[in-house]
Chains A and B, each alone.
Chain A
Amino acid sequence: MNNLLEVRGVSKRFGGLVAVSDVSFKIAEGEILGLIGPNGAGKTTLFNVVNGVYKADKGSITFAGKDITRCSPDKVVHFGLARTHQIVKPLNDLTVLENVTVGACFGREYLDMSAARKVASEVLQRVGLGDRADMMARSLTIAGKKRLEVARALAAKPKLLLLDEVLAGLNPTEIATMIELVRKIRDSGIAVLMIEHLMQAIMSLSDRIVVLNLGCKLAEGRPDEVVHNPAVVECYLGFPDAVHKLTLASKLTWRK
């Protein structure tokens, strides 16, 4: 399998604070890579660097063979890398359909209005927002807004989707639905890099996991490996019992 995304030695600092320090990892096509770590570990910053919102101080990022280290976010989307935000950013005074149409118009395929609207409708059906297409984005529930974020990113026809805590703030039913959606996205051929705090979810979804702590990569590997890593346990997972429970969870739903 080809490596879709290669992050090499990326560092980012803000004044005196080193947010990300010498982080490297790769994502293959069709893979789900989970990114976990305590709060403040630098996960969202890393997303922002990959996506072009911040410029890396050191290191390089290659996507589908192209060097995107110095690219602005709008160019990165055109190459096929889309993202969602931890705190959702709906375009409030536009309808749900218009929101997703923006994604389709300015995404990788750069479609014209009528083609984009068709793609948008289809994506809305896929994520389950089809019945709310003409609602104003501001009137959606938080779960709806999260799905809208994902729909907008999907409409850009990405090859890699960056999901930033897409499960945060959802109730158990909504979480189950979203997990299914992420699986379907991967099954349709889109690779996923997801930040998540919900350990059960990320363990069952991810093919591999990268653990960040204080800006550095602490561990990388398959979920069941990472979960047993003592450094990871100490900094993030906490008590040993969690390890046992999570191992069970990862074994139950693990698929190669």
Chain B
Amino acid sequence: MILRRPFFWIILLVAAGFTYAPLHGNNVSLREDLILIAIAIILASNLNLMIGYTGYVNFGHIVFYGLGGYIGLYLTTVRGLNLVLSALVAGAAVSLCAFLFGLAILRLRGAYFALATIGILQAVQAFVSNFDPWGRSTGMYLSFESYRPLGGAKHALWITYFLVVAVMALSMTVSLAIKNSKFGLGLFAIREDEDAAVVLGVNVTMYKAIIYSVSAFLPAVAGTLMFFKNGMIDPSVAFEYMLSLEGIVMLMLGGQGSVIGAALGGTLYEKLRSYLLTSPVLSNFHLVIAGGLLLLVVLFAPGGLIGWLYRLVPRARKVIE
């Protein structure tokens, strides 16, 4: 049924592009650029499920990514589990935690929920910084041994890249599928008017907890993959508050509520970010520019770039989701 949505084929096309572009001529620097964009798209797409579809702002979204990274890295390094399995187990574990936590904090509405998510991020970071088996504030390091099952470090980097691209395609596909499903319609109803949704028969408590845990799964899997690739993890890079914030900017910039909005915002912002970070003058103002961009979007174009497109060409809604 999802095969009938034209946008699904666009997703596949994009994934194919990501896969083949750096392969052509063994272009490692392009691969490194693209993997960052893919991660941005993964984070933004899954954040979209909470913010764009359900209307609940998750400021601590990065906690899934970081926690997934920790659990996955622990499983591969210390327990010697293979990468894919570690990633899936990490994803499942973080999802489950999110579901249980979600049942509690999703009783809180709007702003209270947003604040609670910041709290969760800080609490998890504090916990991990003091947790011995995970290296406390020093974190964990991967020995080169761990890359052997994948055919050595160079090979491992390519495999990780393809896995990340797959997760990206999966994130966008999941977004698309939910958007066109009954479950998605229920989420939209919650977003528009939660009290009305209850009265219309939507099991609001369950739905919110489910989407919260779904939005945790793929970022956690991606976290395992990325930190495996980087070879190390510590609390400050795993739970970088800045990344959470940037996820929100990406989403708002591209256009929250649409699949392509998340992808577009992720791509554009990631490009902007790498430009800013390498510019000698502007690198200090990275945060200022991101904030300024967010402010402009909120004040003048709350629907983001895609929202603007939809207003120009209303028919585009059906094809470009």
Consider the complex of A and B and state whether they touch directly, i.e. have CB atoms less than 8 Å apart: yes
Show the binding face of A for B, using Cβ within 8 Å. 51, 53, 72-74, 77-78, 83, 85, 89-94, 98, 101-103, 105-107, 110, 112-113, 116, 152, 156
Residues A101 and B185 in contact in the complex (CB < 8 Å), given A74-B204, A106-B201: yes
Chain A residue at minimal CB-CB distance from B191: A93
Alpha-carbon distance A92/B193, docked complex (angstroms)? 9
Bound CA–CA A72/B203 (angstroms): 9
Residues of B within 8 A of A106 (CB): 186, 189, 200-202
Shortest Cβ distance from A119 into chain B, in angstroms?
Answer: 13
Contact A94 B199 (CB under 8 A): no
Query: Does B182 have its Cβ within 8 Å of any Cβ on chain A?
Result: yes
B201/A98 in contact, CB under 8 A: no
Of all chain A residues, which has the CB nearest B202? A106
Which residue of chain B is the closest to A48 with respect to CB atoms? B199
- Could you give 17 example pairs across A and B, Cβ below 8 Å? A73-B199, A73-B201, A74-B199, A77-B199, A85-B196, A89-B196, A90-B193, A91-B188, A91-B193, A93-B188, A93-B192, A98-B185, A102-B186, A105-B185, A106-B186, A106-B200, A113-B185
B195 close to chain A: CB less than 8 A: yes
B188 nearest in chain A by CB position:
A94
Determine the chain A residues whose CB is within 8 A of the CB of B197 once the complex forms. 102
Closest chain B CB from A4 CB (angstroms): 18
With a cutoff of 8 Å between Cβ atoms, the chain B residues found around residue A110 in the complex are 201
Chain A residues near B181: list those with CB within 8 A: 113
- Is B188 a contact of A156 with CB atoms below 8 Å? no
Distance in Å: Cβ of B301 to nearest Cβ of chain A: 16
B198 within 8 Å of A (CB atoms): yes
Bound CA–CA A98/B181 (angstroms): 12
CB pair A152 B200 closer than 8 Å: yes
Question: Are A105 and B192 CB-contacts (below 8 A) given A72-B198, A77-B200, A152-B200?
Answer: no
Closest Cβ neighbor of B193 among chain A residues: A89
Q: How far is the CA of A98 from the CA of B186 in the complex (A)?
A: 10
Partner among A78, A89, A92, A113 whose Cβ is within 8 Å of the Cβ of B201: A78
Q: Mark B277-317, 1 if CB is under 8 A from A, else 0.
A: 00000000000000000000000000000000000000000
Within 8 A of A (CB), among B242-291: none
Minimum Cβ distance to chain A for residue B139 (Å): 43
CB atoms of B202 and A102 under 8 A apart: yes
User: Given A74-B198, A77-B200, A98-B185, 15 more contacts at CB 8 Å?
Assistant: A74-B201, A74-B202, A77-B199, A83-B199, A89-B196, A91-B192, A91-B193, A93-B188, A93-B191, A93-B192, A105-B182, A105-B186, A106-B186, A113-B181, A116-B182
- Interfacial residues of chain B within 120-145, with CB under 8 A of chain A in the complex: none
B185 touches A77 (CB 8 A): no
State A125–B193 Cα separation when bound (angstroms): 25
Complex contact B196–A77 (CB within 8 A): no
In the bound complex, CA of A168 to CA of B201 (Å):
25
- Complex Cα distance A139/B173, Å? 31
Complex formed: what's the CA distance from A252 to B297 in Å?
Answer: 61
B201, A107: Cβ atoms closer than 8 Å: yes
Question: Which residues on the A side are within 8 Å of B203 (C-beta)?
Answer: 74
**Given A85-B196, A89-B196 in contact, is the A77-B182 Cβ separation under 8 Å?**
no
Alpha-carbon distance A98/B197, docked complex (angstroms) = 13
Write out the residue numbers on chain B whose beta carbons fall within 8 Å of the beta carbon of A73.
198-199, 201
Provide the residues of chain B in CB contact with A94, threshold 8 Å.
188-189, 192
List the A residue with the shortest CB-CB distance to B206: A74
Instruction: Give Cα A102 to B196, complex, Å.
Output: 10
Per the bound structure, the CA–CA distance linking A40 and B191 in Å amounts to 31
Task: Report Cα–Cα, A94/B186, bound state, in Å.
Answer: 11
CB distance from B11 to the nearest CB of A (A): 21
Complex-state Cα separation, A56 to B197, whole angstroms: 21
Q: How far is the CB of A140 from chain B (nearest CB, A)?
A: 14
Give per-residue flags for B141-172: 1 if the beta carbon is below 8 A from chain A beta carbons, else 0.
00000000000000000000000000000000
